[in-house]
Chains A and B, each alone.
Chain A
Amino acid sequence: MSARHRSGGEAAATRRPRRPWRELLEAWRDQHFYSFFSSLGRLAARPFTSALTVLVLGLALSLPLFFWLAYDNARAWSGGLREARDVTAFLDPAGDAGAAVALADELRRRDDVAAVLVRSPEQGLAELRQLAGFGAALDVLDGNPLPSVLVVTPRAADPAYDPPLVAELRADPRIDLVQYDAAWRRKLSGILQLGERLVAVVAALLAAATLLVIGNTVRMDIQTRTEEVAVMQLIGASDRFVRRPFLYSGLWYGLLGALCALLVVVAVELALAAPLGRLLGEYAQGAGVRGLGPPLALVVLGAGAALGWIGAFIVVARHLASGRPAR
Chain B
Amino acid sequence: MLRFDNVSKRYVTGLDVLAGLSFEVAAGEMVFVTGHSGAGKSTLLKLVGLLERPTRGQVHVDGADLARVRSRGIPYLRRRIGMVFQDHRLLLDRSVFDNVALPLLITGTPRGEIARRVRAALDKVGLLARERAAPQMLSTGEQQRVGIARAIVGKPPLIIADEPTGNLDPQLSVEIMNLFAEFGEVGTTVLVASHDLFLLKRMRKRVLVLDHGRLIDDFRPGEAA
Instruction: A178 to B134: give the CA distance in the assembly, Å.
Output: 87
Residues of A within 8 A of B110 (CB): 23, 26-27, 30
**From residue 1 to 43 of chain A, which have CB atoms closer than 8 A to chain B?**
1, 3, 5, 9-16, 23-24, 26-28, 30-31, 34
CA distance A234 to B51 in the complex (A): 8
From B52, B53, B105, residue with most partner A Cβ within 10 Å: B105
Contact B108 A27 (CB under 8 A): yes
Determine whether B161 belongs to the interface, using a CB cutoff of 8 Å to chain A. no
Bound state CA distance, A324 and B72, in angstroms? 10
| Residue B222 CB within 8 A of the other chain | no
C-alpha spacing A85/B78, complex, angstroms: 77
Residue of A nearest to B78 (CB): A236
* Interface: B103 (CB within 8 A): yes
Knowing A227-B89, A236-B78, the reply to whether A325 touches B50 (Cβ < 8 A) is yes
Q: A12-B62, A14-B77 are in contact. Are A3 and B106 (CB under 8 A)?
A: no
**A233 at interface by CB-CB < 8 Å:** yes
CB neighbours (8 Å) of A1 from chain B are: 72
Measured CA separation A230–B31 after assembly (Å) = 26
Which listed segment binds A: B63-71, B123-131, B203-211? B63-71
User: B138 within 8 Å of A by Cβ?
Assistant: no
Closest 3 CB pairs of A and B: A27-B108, A11-B64, A14-B73
A255 → chain B closest CB, angstroms: 24
Residues 98-129 of B at the A interface (beta carbon under 8 Å): 102-103, 105-111
Let me know if B71 and A235 touch, CB within 8 A: no
B61 near A: Cβ within 8 Å?
yes
Cβ contacts under 8 Å, A23 to chain B:
110
Q: Which of A15, A26, A235 contacts B83 (CB 8 A)?
A: A235
A232 at the interface (CB under 8 A from B): yes
Interface residue from B53, B64, B76 paired with A16 (Cβ < 8 Å): B76
Can you name the residue of chain A whose Cβ is closest to the Cβ of B66? A11
Cα–Cα distance between A1 and B72 once the two chains are bound (Å): 9
Q: With A and B bound together, what is the CA distance between A193 and B212 in angstroms? A: 75
A231 on the B face (CB < 8 A) = yes
Given that A27-B108, A234-B89, A237-B106 are contacting pairs, would A12 and B63 also be in contact in the complex, using a CB cutoff of 8 Å?
yes
* A-B contacts, CB under 8 A, total: 104
Specify the main secondary structure of chain B where it touches its partner.
Answer: mixed
Contact status B61-A13, CB under 8 Å: yes
A235-B78 contact given A11-B65, A28-B108, A325-B53, CB 8 Å threshold: yes
Docked pose: A198 CA to B80 CA in angstroms: 57
Q: How far is the CB of B102 from chain A (nearest CB, A)?
A: 6
Specify which chain A residues have a CB less than 8 angstroms from the CB of B106 in the assembled complex.
Answer: 232, 235-238, 241
Interface string of B25-59 (1 = CB under 8 A from A): 00000000000000000000000011111000000
**How long is the Cα–Cα vector from A27 to B110 in the complex, in angstroms?**
6
- Residue B150 lies at the interface, judged by CB distance under 8 Å to chain A: yes
**How long is the Cα–Cα vector from A119 to B109 in the complex, in angstroms?**
86
Q: Give the interface size bracket for A toward B.
A: 35 or more
- Can you give 27 contacting A-B residue pairs, CB < 8 Å? A9-B65, A11-B61, A12-B64, A13-B61, A13-B62, A13-B80, A14-B74, A24-B108, A27-B110, A30-B105, A30-B108, A30-B110, A31-B105, A34-B105, A231-B91, A233-B75, A233-B78, A234-B51, A234-B78, A235-B103, A235-B150, A236-B77, A238-B72, A238-B106, A239-B72, A325-B50, A326-B53
Q: Is B79 an interface residue (CB 8 A)?
A: yes
Chain B nearest Cβ from A44, distance in angstroms: 12
Chain B residue nearest to A14 in the complex (CB) = B73
User: What's the least CB distance linking B91 to chain A, in Å?
Assistant: 6
CA distance A28 to B62 in the complex (A): 28
A-chain residues with CB within 8 Å of residue B72 when the two chains form the complex: 1, 3, 5, 238-239
Determine if A162 is an interface residue (Cβ-Cβ < 8 Å). Answer: no
Chain A nearest CB, measured from B161 CB (Å): 13
Bound: A196/B87 CA distance, A:
60
Residues of B near A14 (CB, < 8 A) are 64, 69, 73-74, 76-77
Q: Is A96 among interface residues, defined by CB-CB distance under 8 A?
A: no
Most buried by A among B49, B53, B63, B73: B73
What mask results when residues 158 to 180 of chain B are scored 1 for a CB within 8 Å of chain A, else 0? 00000000000000000000000
Residues in B with CB closer than 8 Å to A318 are none
User: Which residues in A have their C-beta under 8 angstroms from that of B105?
Assistant: 30-31, 34
Q: Is the CB of A9 within 8 A of B89?
A: no
Contacts of B78 in A (CB 8 A): 233-236
